A and B are shown apart, each in its own frame.
Chain A
Amino acid sequence: MGKYVLKRIGYMLLTLFIIASVTFFLMKLLPGSPFNNEDRLSDTQKEILLDKYGLNEPVPVQYVKYMTALAQGDLGISFQFDGRPVSTLIGERIGASAFLGMQSLILGTVLGLILGTIAAIRHNSWVDYSATVASVLGLSIPSFVFASLLQYYVGVKLQWLPVAFWTTWEHTILPSIALSLVVIATTSRFMRTEILEVLGQDYIITARSKGLSNARVIVTHAIRNAMIPVITILGPLAVNLITGTLVIERIFSVPGLGQQFVSSIATNDYPVIMGTTLFYSTLFIGVILLVDILYGIIDPRIRISGGKE
């Protein structure tokens, strides 16, 4: 186990190193200039700016400098926001995104687990069919379409909830619902399959023949065992949520990292793009590693190193 974790962390660091290098060199190839109104700047002004951001040094020197700074957690300085460090920008923006993501993840998994369990217990009934249809819809309808419609009908037409912005908790409801749609669909679908499989196992027959009530069998035996594999989809789900925040935050004007990222793409703010990309990558890889390790701890039957082949 310890060796496995070490090996995985090693891979993670290698991957991050490669991502950082690739991002750096790709950024150097980017078209356009990071400065606004470049044609109006005089040559001296340009030189001062380039010097300030260390852009006039040879690329290998810049690379070494960037990587050394990166190892110390320094992501560089934003071009657009007057010399503010990228790590501060990320720190300011991550709160709203993290809150939105966690709230959607919790809401989505709880609802999904309940829905999936009910569908499995009432297998082949109308409940099951409608849950299946709902999950196909949830997986198919693009999040931004669902979010815009939700905003239009619930926010604008019915005026039940605030349309956008991020001030009170009520403002977080619509974006969270919009973001959790995929989570609900994925977990309910997965949970349904798992419960159906568990219900066919021998130990369920044993439990039933002991004389346990149906509710007891389902709650203590079926649901608990079915929930273990659900952990495996949490990794991909978290990745999905992060992708989702990019559009959901734009639609609902949430001051989160996703919105910042999208606007930095539009303004060629290279350090912010690079920093956020690296931040997202670390998050993605970290979550997946965490989920894999967690799975090995919870279910000892999984032979961890052989899991992949």
Chain B
Amino acid sequence: MSLPKHEISTELFQPAQVRKENKEVIARPSISFWKDAWIRLRKNKAAVTGLIIIVFIALMAFIGPQMSKYGFNDQDLMRVNLPPKVQGLENISFLGLDGVDIRGMDQYKLKQQKDYFWFGTDALGRDQWTRIWEGTQVSLLIAFVAAILDLLIGITYGGISAFYGGKTDNYMQRFIEILIGIPNLVIIILLILILKPGITSIIIAMAISGWTGMARIVRAQILKLKGQEFVLASRTLGAGDKRLVSKHLIPNVLGPIIITTTFTIPTAIFFEAFLSFIGLGLRPPTASLGSLVNEGFRSLQIFPHLMLIPSIIISLLMISFNMLGDGLRDALDPKMRK
């Protein structure tokens, strides 16, 4: 092997000029934790899609009922069980939005209806479009309120338990251990039986059975943080309990709290639907996504649209919340990323 020999001598080099005052300059703008998390979340296509779908469905839940001239409980036996029919899309037959039922009859012609019902009508002639969006509103309300209650009780309980430690912690943990032993389903069913089915009782039942998970997470996080140097430093500088909790501990626990809440919401939506499905849900005429699915299930073979559309919306909501939750977990807690 004969490579051409190039002498590399020291004369070829010369030291770069270093300015002392530039040495400490930070080249990029500093990014806070939340900004960093947001950047990571934005890169996650699934999470962004989930967020967009959630915002869209939530908006529709409020705008949707306004778009139809029929109220959610306007009954008319002249227009029962109409299949969906949408202007413009009625000529594309495979979409099934032409007002023709599964036996191939144009129900709108038969019942002499001039109006368009985008999601069809139910067995009492009520407009499904209005009912479904009102139901979405109710389902979202139940899920959000239950999640917020979980959050408040869980943070308070877990925070107190971890912060004071010792005997307090010990007793509070024994209590939670017994509560966790009782299956959620059992508590929820019993409470709803007693409180009589309704929005409030579903929320209360879910809050009572749901906060333990949050309390445990908050406690574990605070216990971990309490021993760290920055807390000691802050205490040495004279910070009181209040300042310590609000300025140091809570902001650091916020990540896991947000992640847990994002997963609580779909669980609550599911439980509400589940309860409606086994007959412990809302009482008519109030509708939720779950009770609509339940009503639709009874006539699934004849009028599939009654069950399909609320099912799609409930599934979309659950999928979106789960995707957003996964994305948030990756963004807020990079260590947990697979």
Contact = CB atoms under 8 A, between A and B. Distances in A.
B182 interface: yes
B110 interface: no
Interface of B (DSSP majority class): helix
Interface string A120-163: 00000000000000001101111011001101100010000000
A300 to B, nearest CB: 24
A281 B209 CA distance: 14
A102 to B, nearest CB: 19
B183 interface: yes
A190 B314 CA distance: 25
A257 interface: no
Contact of A156 (B193, B274, B301): B301
A140 to B, nearest CB: 4
Interface stretch (B55-63, B129-137, B276-284): B276-284
A71 to B, nearest CB: 19
A67 interface: no
Interface in B6-26: none
A94 interface: no
Contact of B185 (A142, A151, A280): A280
Interface string B256-273: 000000000010001001
B273 A142 contact: yes
A11 interface: yes
Given A15-B178, A142-B270, A265-B279, A239 B194 contact: no
A242 B274 CA distance: 13
A243 B178 contact: no
Contacts of B274: 142, 144, 243, 246-247
A19 interface: yes
Q: What bracket does the count of chain B residues touching chain A fall in?
A: 35 or more
Contacts of B185: 242-243, 280
A273 B193 contact: yes
Interface string B321-338: 111001000000000001
A41 interface: no
Interface string A1-36: 000000000011011001100110010011100000
A249 to B, nearest CB: 10
B78 interface: no
Interface of A is mostly: helix
B178 A247 contact: no
Contact of B178 (A14, A29, A137, A193): A14
Given A26-B190, A30-B194, A281 B182 contact: yes
A219 interface: no
A212 interface: no
A148 B194 contact: no
Contact of B193 (A140, A196, A265): A265
Nearest to A274: B190
B307 A148 contact: yes
Interface in A76-116: none
A262 to B, nearest CB: 5
Contacts of B318: 140-142
Interface of B: 46, 177-178, 181-183, 185-186, 189-191, 193-194, 196, 266, 270, 273-274, 277-280, 293, 297, 300-301, 304, 307, 311, 314-315, 318-319, 321-323, 326, 338
Given A140-B321, A250-B278, A277-B190, 10 more contacts: A15-B178, A18-B178, A29-B194, A136-B326, A140-B319, A144-B274, A151-B300, A196-B338, A247-B274, A281-B183
16 contacts: A19-B182, A26-B191, A26-B193, A29-B194, A137-B319, A141-B315, A142-B270, A144-B297, A148-B300, A246-B274, A247-B278, A250-B278, A265-B278, A266-B279, A280-B185, A281-B186
Interface of A: 11-12, 14-15, 18-19, 22-23, 26, 29-31, 136-137, 139-142, 144-145, 148-149, 151-152, 156, 193, 196, 239, 242-243, 246-247, 250-251, 262, 265-266, 273, 277, 280-281, 284-285
